[in-house]
Amino acid sequence: EVAPADAASAQVTGTVQVRSGPGTSFRIVGQLRRGDRVTIDRCSSSRRWCNVRSRYSRSGWVNSRFLDRVSSGGGSRGGICFYGARGYICVGR
């Protein structure tokens, strides 16, 4: 499987439910824990929910406040922006 060119890596900052859609009304399909690495495919227009993939959980949507840039990734800005754990951030390759 090839990731989209604008896919971005992030890390999870706390235990968060993975949902089938961008909101708390969607069913829970998995869970991620603090420190898990994920690939963000896209974020909702509100920038408060992002669709992520992980090797620990099936893909789905998480509340973006539980996401942050991967510390080893440096200061690169990318094409995916959201309201993350430390304010508005952009990540990408």
Going by pLDDT thresholds of 50, 70 and 90, the confidence category of residue 77 is: low
DSSP calls for 1-68? -PPPTT-EEEEE-S-EEEESSSSTTSPEEEEE-TT-EEEEEEE-TTSSEEEEE-SSS-SEEEEGGGEE
12-66 pLDDT, tens digit each: 999 999 999 999 999 999 999 999 999 999 999 999 999 999 987 789 999 999 9
The pTM of the whole model exceeds 0.75: yes
